[in-house]
């Protein structure tokens, strides 16, 4: 049976997916770009994409457009761990790419939390199976970061480097829109949904020793909390209204 135009486009896109040209979770060209590339109307392109969606190969989300279907990586919030350990638990190959390593004047909020006027600020891009997964900024007091090198933080997590026995952390998670800078690094559209997490890690004595900010594309990750006990309320645990 002769293929219709949209079936032909779906077959061409399927071949690109099978070849690995487009990895799991990666954004597809926009409908407008695909329309131009294949010389077809956007209606025809959308029918092709919907066919691939029915096959479980692609998906779409408001603010992102179309992307290669992938199960979101799940991060459990009940324990203090690194992105790398979470990804390893999912069988995902991780890599960290340090984008910036320098000592700077601490931002006011960071200075208040860490009690240090000068901090080591490290910005890095975490990769999952070769694709951008998280943009991370860590602030470390100068007294702990003075002996660290760029190679150190590229190789190992801060938890293993600062020489402090850790007690725990407070992590705050909220929804945000990707800035143009973050979007470019994460390979997502500007203004698309992201999960922005602030983590304050403390020593066993309760002194804050690290502040970090993690930005995750919203279609690539889920946070999971194990609620061991039932309560009279069905509201999510830890819910807080934003001012």
Residues 138 and 30 in one domain: no
Residues 97 and 200 in one domain: yes
Q: Phi/psi at 93 (nearest 5 deg)?
A: -80, 125
Residues 148 and 184 in one domain: yes
Q: Are 136 and 83 in contact (CB under 8 A)?
A: yes
Residues 169 and 220 in one domain: yes
The boundaries of the domain holding residue 213 are 73-224
Residues 118 and 37 in one domain: no
55 half-sphere exposure, CB direction, 13 A CA radius: 15
Number of domains in the chain: 2
The residue written with tokens 């190679």 in the block is 151
Q: What is the mean pLDDT of each run of 10 residues along the chain (243 residues)?
A: 80 86 77 90 90 86 77 63 67 85 96 96 90 92 94 90 90 89 89 90 94 89 69 50 51
Three-class secondary structure of residue 128 per DSSP: strand
Domain boundary among 68, 91, 121: 68
Distance between CA 30 and CA 12 in Å, rounded? 15
Residue 201: the pLDDT is 94
Query: Which DSSP category does 179 fall into?
Result: -
Q: Is the pTM here over 0.95, yes or no?
A: no
Residue 239 lies in a domain: no
Residue 241: the pLDDT is 47
Q: Are 52 and 10 in contact (CB under 8 A)?
A: yes
Residue 199: the pLDDT is 92
Three-class secondary structure of residue 39 per DSSP: coil
Q: What is the CATH number of the domain that holds 96?
A: 3.40.1410.10
The residue written with tokens 């002194």 in the block is 207
Distance between CA 207 and CA 151 in Å, rounded? 27
Residue 239: the pLDDT is 45
Residues 104 and 61 in one domain: no
Q: What is the CATH number of the domain that holds 63?
A: 1.10.10.10
Residue 151 lies in a domain: yes
Residue 144: the pLDDT is 94
């Amino acid at each position: 049976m002769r293929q219709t135009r949209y079936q032909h486009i779906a077959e061409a896109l399927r071949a690109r997916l099978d070849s690995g040209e487009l990895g799991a979770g990666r954004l597809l060209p926009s409908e407008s770009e695909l329309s131009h590339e294949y010389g077809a109307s956007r209606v025809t392109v959308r029918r092709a994409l919907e066919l691939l969606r029915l096959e479980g190969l692609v998906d779409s989300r408001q603010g992102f457009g179309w992307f290669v279907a992938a199960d979101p990586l799940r991060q459990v919030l009940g324990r203090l761990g690194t992105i790398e350990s979470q990804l390893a638990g999912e069988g995902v190959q991780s890599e960290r790419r340090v984008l910036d390593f320098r000592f700077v004047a601490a931002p006011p909020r960071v200075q208040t939390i860490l009690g240090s006027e000068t901090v080591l600020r490290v910005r890095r891009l975490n990769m999952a199976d070769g694709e951008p997964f998280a943009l991370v900024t860590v602030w470390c007091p100068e007294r702990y970061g003075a002996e660290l090198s760029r190679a150190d933080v590229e190789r190992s997590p801060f938890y293993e480097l600062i020489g402090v026995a850790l007690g725990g952390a407070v992590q705050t998670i909220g929804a945000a829109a990707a800035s143009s800078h973050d979007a470019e690094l994460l390979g997502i559209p500007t203004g698309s949904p992201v999960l922005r997490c602030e983590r304050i890690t403390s020593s066993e004595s309760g002194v804050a020793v690290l502040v970090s900010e993690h930005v995750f594309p919203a279609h690539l990750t889920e946070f999971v909390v194990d609620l061991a006990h039932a309560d009279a309320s069905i509201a999510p645990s830890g819910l807080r209204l934003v001012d």
